[in-house]
Amino acid sequence: MATAVIDGLFSDEVFTATELNRHVGTVLDHACVRPVTISRNNDLFALVKREYAARMIRTMAQMKSALSLLAEAHVAISGESPAPVFAWLTIYEKDDLQRLFTEVLDAVGRAASGASDWGDVQAVIHEWEESALVAKSGVLDQAMFHEPAEESPLPNPDEFLQYLEPSQMAAGESCPESTSQ
Amino acid sequence: MPGIDEPIEPEQTLDLEIPHPARTEQGEDITPHGWLLVAQNKKVIKGWNDLCLQIPENAKRCYLWLRNDPTRRIPGRCYELKYKHYAGAWAFEVGSGQRVYYKIREGTREVLIYYAGPHPAKAPYPPT
């Protein structure tokens, strides 16, 4: 993953600018395999495949995003108000926030080591934020703790949809309660 | 799995692997019909039917997923809610703006749907 790319910068091959000019094909062939360094006077340049560079930049962005959340979670744990963009953190109590901290940190660790993708980190953060939004809305509290229970089987979409007129399907109009099974 | 910064189009079809029901050593289905999906009340059924009309393919896949393996996580799509007061409750993101929330009853192999419908109204963040 990106970490391996970064490690690769320190196990590269060095070419001079003159060598690059004279043997550009050879240098690029090496750059396809691993990062190479081009030296010119006192300056050093890294030459890497664009996809590696893109992955490194994406990794940095994801890391920054995760660290911002962790910093604000730390603020919330200490009892202060997090930045407005992370205001959803305030729905959680201290023990919840500590669990969030641990889960996100674990996910970051796995992604940084290459054991998982950075998408998994974003998924964990997304799940915490979504859970906060549900709690904030109160719809699930209402459904779980206050609404009457009149249980009945959930309609199978295939069976439900086959009885609809095509015009209803196209319109996506709201169903009357009598359509329930 | 869609990234956070890549909103899911409401009509986008979920690309989900639908697992097969568990089988005995003899190859017979332990639960030939999977889990039984139960709506808590008529309000849930109405919300579900509306959802079926809006995004039928996604609703079908959600239905199959919940029937076969309701506690199998799909990162960012099907997951246990984090809020401790909802312990044991799961969310399924049927579309970008549609949600199903449920709990399972292990003993009877039932999935009790508490909510099916639009994404709960979001509080304005940051405050205006």
* Closest approach of B25 to chain A, Cα-based (Å): 29
Nearest to A147 among B43, B82, B127 (CB): B43
> Quick check: A127 and B85 CB within 8 A?
no
Q: Considering the domain B1-128, what is its CATH architecture?
A: 2-Layer Sandwich (3.30)
Please report, rounded to a whole number, the percentage of residues in chain A having pLDDT higher than 70. 85
Nearest to B46 among A132, A161, A177 (CB): A177
Has the ipTM of the complex gone over 0.85?
no
**Tell me: the pLDDT tens digits for B76-96?**
999 999 998 999 999 999 998
Mean pLDDT by 10 residues, chain A (181 residues): 48 88 94 91 92 90 93 94 95 95 94 90 96 93 90 91 69 50 36
Nearest to A126 among B4, B116, B123 (CB): B4
| Interface-testing mutation among A127, A128, A168, with chain B (most B C-beta atoms within 10 A) | A127
Give chain A as a DSSP string.
-HHHHHHHTTS-EEEEHHHHHH-HHHHHHHHHHS-EEEEETTEEEEE--HHHHHHHHHHHHHHHHHHHHHHHHHHHHTTSPPPGGGGGGGGS-HHHHHHHHHHHHHHHHHHHHTSS-HHHHHHHHHHHHHHHHHHHH-HHHIIIIIS----EEPPPHHHHHHTS-HHHHHHTPPPPGGG--
pTM: 0.78
* Closest approach of B118 to chain A, Cα-based (Å): 11
> Quick check: A149 and B44 CB within 8 A?
no
